[in-house]
Chains A and B, each alone.
Chain A
Amino acid sequence: MSDDHDHHDGDDDHELRVSKIRDGTVIDHVRGGQALNVLAILGIDGTDGEEVSIGMNVPSDRFARKDIVKVEGRELSQDEVDVLSLIAPDATINIVRDYDVVEKHRVERPEVVEGVLSCPNAGCITTGDEPVTSRFSVLEDGVRCSYCERIVREEIASLIDT
């Protein structure tokens, strides 16, 4: 090879930008700029003391830019992972124990998401003071409130109930 430069695999190289974790979850291949929404949809805001590291707009082979989120001390359940599909459909989930990846998942679109999103329709019963958990069915190209039937196709991340 006549190339003077070392050519590493991009992902391995950039992995170093965020610290390795011992036990927990690495969410990789999140679309660039969506990392904070990933944390919001998982209800992680740091107040419970979780150790979280985030890489944003990291160069990637698969996308031009990707985000990566590492949560120490917490293994995401399949339900939590599935909710991520709404904003990060290409994400891969690595469950780490003692520095080793022990499980790898792709996200799958759930049929229904409960208590994660809030309805944007001011005329919807779920937007008042009622003791009701929001529920959205997941369509091919959006989500739909199970109460008022409003369909949302764009900016789903803006509906995340924080």
Chain B
Amino acid sequence: MRHDHLITSKQLSRADIETVLDRAAEIDADPSAVADRHANTLLGLLFFEPSTRTKMSFETAMKRLGGDVVDMGSVESSSVKKGETLADTVRVIEGYTDALVLRHPKQGAATMASEFVDVPLLNAGDGAGHHPTQTMLDLYTIRENAGLDDLTIGIMGDLKYGRTVHSLAHALTNFETQQHFISPESLQLPREVVYDLHQRQDGSGIKEHESLEAVLPSLDVLYVTRIQRERFPDENEYQKVAGEYQIDAATLEAASDDLTVMHPLPRVDEIAPEIDDTDHAAYFEQAHNGVPVRMALLDLLLSDDRGIRGEADE
């Protein structure tokens, strides 16, 4: 089917995902070929909570396609402060722009907003819900480094609150992957997410662990996320738990030489800086990939024959 909006990576089939990643690879190889492709196109940036990095990445992507952005600015200075509903805000701003990017603290915000507008809407994060452009750039990075089929991936850290993890895990069920989830018990995947993963893939592809040690040697990719201080009642407990999910050069001695280490950034101390210069480190590349991947998504959603549509779907 054709997708006019990008709300969650769950809506995308394997063919849809491959269409996006293939387009991103083409753009990545020759960005100049699309430098004017969307001249005179305006992208509206609606960020109801701050995320400078994601916003800059979208802005860069739109400008590299020849277009420009208009930014709602901070919530404090906008009509939202006066009590306007999201439904009204998106209906007003769609009249100014050719597409919208929305980040909002409430879950389901992008789904609802997309029901009120005709221009393409891209979800840049809805509370604890989805962040599909992050997922697509994660998938792109995995494909470039390790391939998406016959993949064994470890996803480690805060799996409870980390929405990037939920979206990624779900998207990976489209491929032949073995997923290992490594976290302290208190930060395990929510049962909703586990339920969904089991609906998608038989249980053998999904395993949960409290320690990295046993699975590390089998991994092609290790995806590390930050464990936040505020998830713990006191500093001691935090230090004790978080310390077990940090990696350094010594940790990686047990890993395969080809292991790719990823992180959605910003990191604090989950990955020691000494890993940055090794062949394992892919997290800066991953951050850079946000631009070609968002360019690909904008291009697909804004083209005359618009929509994300996997070729095998037709």
B109 surroundings in chain A (CB, below 8 A): 125
B106 contact from A124, A131, A150, Cβ within 8 A: A124
Residue of B nearest to A144 (CB): B192
Determine which residue in B105, B109, B195 has the highest number of CB atoms from chain A within 10 A of its CB, and name it. Answer: B109
Name the distance in Å between B257's Cβ and chain A's nearest Cβ: 39
A129 surroundings in chain B (CB, below 8 A): 83, 85
Establish whether residues A148 and B85, one from each chain, have CB atoms under 8 Å apart when the complex forms: no
Establish whether residues A128 and B111, one from each chain, have CB atoms under 8 Å apart when the complex forms: no
B85 surroundings in chain A (CB, below 8 A): 128-131
Instruction: Give Cα A91–Cα B128 distance, bound, in whole angstroms.
Output: 38
A147 surroundings in chain B (CB, below 8 A): 107-108, 111-112
For chain B, the count of residues having a C-beta within 8 Å of the partner chain is 19
Interface residues of A in 75-95 (CB under 8 A from B): none
B112 contact from A123, A126, A150, A151, Cβ within 8 A: A126
Determine which residue in A123, A128, A146, A150 has the highest number of CB atoms from chain B within 10 A of its CB, and name it. Answer: A123
Instruction: Give Cα A41–Cα B118 distance, bound, in whole angstroms.
Output: 33
For chain A, the count of residues having a C-beta within 8 Å of the partner chain is 17
Establish whether residues B107 and A123, one from each chain, have CB atoms under 8 Å apart when the complex forms: yes
Against A, the Cβ 8 Å flags (1 = close, 0 = not) of B90-119 are: 000000000000001111110110010000
Establish whether residues A148 and B129, one from each chain, have CB atoms under 8 Å apart when the complex forms: yes
A125 contact from B108, B128, B192, B195, Cβ within 8 A: B108
Instruction: Give Cα A124–Cα B127 distance, bound, in whole angstroms.
Output: 9
Establish whether residues B106 and A123, one from each chain, have CB atoms under 8 Å apart when the complex forms: yes
Instruction: Give Cα A149–Cα B86 distance, bound, in whole angstroms.
Output: 19
A148 surroundings in chain B (CB, below 8 A): 106-108, 127, 129
Establish whether residues A149 and B107, one from each chain, have CB atoms under 8 Å apart when the complex forms: yes
Interface flag for A143 (CB, 8 Å): no
Interface flag for A145 (CB, 8 Å): yes
Interface flag for B265 (CB, 8 Å): no
Interface flag for B56 (CB, 8 Å): no
Against B, the Cβ 8 Å flags (1 = close, 0 = not) of A33-76 are: 00000000000000000000000000000000000000000000
Name the distance in Å between A78's Cβ and chain B's nearest Cβ: 25
B86 surroundings in chain A (CB, below 8 A): 125, 130
A150 surroundings in chain B (CB, below 8 A): 107, 192
Known: A123-B127, A125-B86, A150-B192. A132 touches B107 (CB 8 A): no
Instruction: Give Cα A145–Cα B112 distance, bound, in whole angstroms.
Output: 12
Name the distance in Å between B222's Cβ and chain A's nearest Cβ: 27
Interface flag for B254 (CB, 8 Å): no
Against B, the Cβ 8 Å flags (1 = close, 0 = not) of A117-139 are: 00001011110111110000000
A interface with B by C-beta (< 8 Å): 121, 123-126, 128-132, 145-151
Of all A-B residue pairs in the complex, the 4 with the closest CB atoms, nearest first, are A147-B108, A148-B107, A125-B106, A148-B108
B interface with A by C-beta (< 8 Å): 83, 85-87, 104-109, 111-112, 115, 126-129, 192, 195
Can you list 24 pairs linking A and B with CB atoms under 8 Å apart? Answer: A123-B105, A123-B127, A124-B106, A124-B107, A125-B86, A125-B104, A125-B107, A125-B108, A125-B111, A125-B112, A126-B108, A126-B112, A130-B86, A132-B112, A145-B108, A146-B108, A146-B111, A147-B107, A147-B112, A149-B107, A149-B108, A149-B192, A150-B107, A150-B192
